[in-house]
């Protein structure tokens, strides 16, 4: 006779059993995801504020707070959403949400601590997505290695410590690629819809996310072509005999209705998530896009110029640790040899964004191509895997797993050394082949101190050692963050119309970005250097004291 068990208890017991079984099944994945989160967050949170508040952070975060206020007050008028309208609102929502979690409503130093911490969470989330991507389409060991490589890549660390838009771009780019590949693998409409929604959020983060469209298009064509050749479709390879065959093949490679539905879903997502587009949509969109017609000049390879079409390729080569460049070459060779859908996805993901070189808005080092670093990390791990398998076949007595772990460990140590060499100024990392930060400074080959690095350090020095109530002139860019550090002194912020110092100025702060582009002229015989912030011989900011 069966015992009379309460149905609710039986259901609870079954749920507990399923949960226990899931934990047992995914225990290794959960462990590695936890490890990745600890390392990715730890690296970014350690010394989080040491580089100071940088370009774009005040505008981005304050805009997010404004948007949150608009939501709470149900204010959806166009003017209420015009702040920083050159980019979509998604990154601002992220930082506003983080501030809301801490019930933080004022704009002060702590505001940016919270916002920067949110950026580190975004960076760590990208690393976890890379793990999930590789776990689904490659292998667990490649997943672990690629996620840890990404977590420690200097450029990616730098831009996922900043409360700006580029970290979220990398997040939604990676998510869109992951969901789209799942859609190709399973042919489930839900994954296509999810990837289209993610695409809309990506474009609503920053317009350079549009570079993913040719990646998805080419990947879809390659996948369909492979299915056709492998006989995995009802349509068989045929000789083109007439217009009917052409139309049949065209409909197979580019199904019109599903394509329109995919793009429409992305467009609707973009529209719904951005209230600024709800009124006067066309003009607001044009206004937003005009930001991208600006043609900047900057120092590149020793001269002030409009960046050339090879700008991003050069920056990629000089800001990527040499070990990663070599491993990515190996991984790329393996991907070309394998030619599976996943490998083509990685190659397109890494290479196609460099076509951004052919736009007019080229600047800021690798910032606008931050979305390629997940693909770079995965290809590096694929390269490590290929090298390990090759060496294991030659050495016989050593298993490929041990070799894979050893090569991965050496790679991670190289990345840690790269980070330590410039900490906390990861924005100014240049590899050894390029000559490092000092060479960038001496020859004016590349950008440095362009986010205001060193300014925070200089202000803290004066706050600690200068007599209270001193007047400090800040001839540096960006100088707006100074108001969030200032406590004991009066800080006069330079603007381009300032030609001379007022008599009450006792201290002067300059930085390299301002000195390069808008040098402030003063009588240096009246001042002496009392403090300087450097990274590998590159002077970021300098503090002068007036000689009395």
The confidence score (pLDDT) of residue 238 equals: 55
Binned average pLDDT, 10 residues per bin, the chain of 548 residues: 61 70 82 97 95 90 94 89 89 96 91 97 98 97 98 97 96 98 95 98 95 96 84 60 64 82 96 93 86 80 89 95 97 92 96 90 89 98 96 87 96 97 93 87 84 91 93 88 88 81 91 86 90 89 90
Model pLDDT, residue 245: 59
pLDDT, residue 142, reads: 97
Closest of 239, 414, 434, 424 to residue 318, by C-alpha: 434
pLDDT, residue 10, reads 64
Angle (CA) 261 264 269, round 5°: 125
Contacts with 456 (C-beta within 8 Å, 6 or more apart), sequence order: 49, 50, 51, 52, 53, 481, 485
User: Do β-strands 527-535 and 507-511 pair in parallel, antiparallel, or remain unpaired?
Assistant: unpaired
Instruction: Indicate the angle between helix axes 90-101 and 109-137, nearest 10 degrees.
Output: 120
Predicted confidence at residue 443, as pLDDT, reads 83
The reported pLDDT for the residue numbered 175 is: 98
């Amino acid at each position: 006779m069966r015992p009379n068990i309460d149905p609710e208890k039986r259901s609870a017991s079954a749920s507990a059993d399923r949960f226990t079984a899931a934990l047992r099944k995914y225990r290794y994945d959960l462990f590695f995801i936890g490890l990745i989160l600890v390392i990715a967050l730890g690296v970014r949170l350690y010394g989080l504020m040491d580089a100071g508040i940088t370009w774009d952070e005040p505008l981005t975060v304050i805009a997010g707070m404004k948007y949150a206020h608009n939501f709470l007050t149900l204010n959806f008028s166009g003017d209420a959403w015009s702040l920083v309208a050159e980019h979509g609102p998604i990154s601002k929502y992220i930082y506003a949400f983080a501030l809301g979690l801490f019930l933080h409503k004022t704009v002060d130093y702590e505001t940016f601590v919270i916002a920067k911490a949110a950026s580190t969470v975004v960076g760590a989330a990208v690393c976890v997505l890379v793990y999930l991507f590789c776990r689904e389409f490659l292998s667990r060991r490649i997943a672990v290695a690629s996620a840890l490589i990404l977590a420690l890549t200097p450029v990616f660390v730098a831009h996922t410590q900043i409360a700006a838009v580029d970290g979220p771009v990398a997040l939604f780019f990676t998510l869109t690629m992951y969901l789209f590949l799942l859609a190709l693998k399973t042919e489930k409409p839900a994954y296509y819809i999810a990837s289209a929604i993610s695409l809309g959020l990506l474009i609503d983060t920053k317009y350079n996310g549009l570079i993913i469209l040719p990646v998805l298009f080419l990947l879809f064509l390659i996948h369909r072509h492979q299915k056709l050749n492998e006989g995995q479709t009802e349509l068989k390879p045929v000789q083109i005999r007439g217009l009917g065959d052409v139309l049949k093949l065209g409909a197979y490679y580019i199904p019109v209705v599903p394509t329109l539905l995919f793009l429409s879903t992305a467009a609707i997502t973009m529209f719904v998530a951005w209230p600024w587009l709800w009124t006067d949509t066309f003009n607001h969109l044009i206004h937003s896009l005009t930001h991208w017609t600006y043609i900047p000049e900057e120092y590149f390879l020793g001269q002030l110029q409009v960046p050339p079409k090879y700008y991003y390729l050069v920056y990629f080569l000089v800001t990527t640790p040499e070990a990663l460049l070599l491993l990515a070459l190996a991984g790329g060779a393996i991907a070309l040899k394998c030619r599976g859908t996943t490998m083509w996805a990685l190659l397109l993901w890494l290479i196609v964004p460099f076509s951004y070189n052919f736009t007019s808005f080229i600047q800021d080092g690798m910032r606008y191509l931050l979305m390629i670093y997940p693909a770079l990390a995965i290809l590096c791990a694929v390269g490590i895997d290929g090298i390990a398998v090759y060496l294991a076949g030659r050495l016989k007595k050593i298993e490929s797993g041990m070799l894979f772990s050893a090569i991965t460990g050496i790679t991670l140590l190289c990345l840690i050394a790269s980070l330590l060499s410039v900490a906390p100024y990861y924005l100014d990392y240049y590899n050894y082949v390029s000559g490092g930060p000092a060479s960038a400074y001496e020859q004016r080959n590349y950008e440095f101190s362009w986010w205001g690095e060193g300014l925070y350090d200089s202000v803290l020095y004066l706050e600690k050692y200068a007599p209270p109530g001193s007047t400090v002139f800040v001839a540096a860019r960006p100088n707006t963050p100074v108001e969030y550090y200032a406590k004991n002194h009066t800080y006069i912020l330079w603007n381009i119309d300032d030609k001379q110092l007022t008599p009450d100025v006792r201290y002067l702060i300059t930085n390299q970005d301002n000195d390069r582009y808008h040098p402030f002229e003063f009588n240096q015989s009246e001042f002496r250097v009392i403090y300087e912030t450097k990274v590998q011989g590159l002077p970021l900011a300098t503090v002068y004291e007036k000689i009395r």
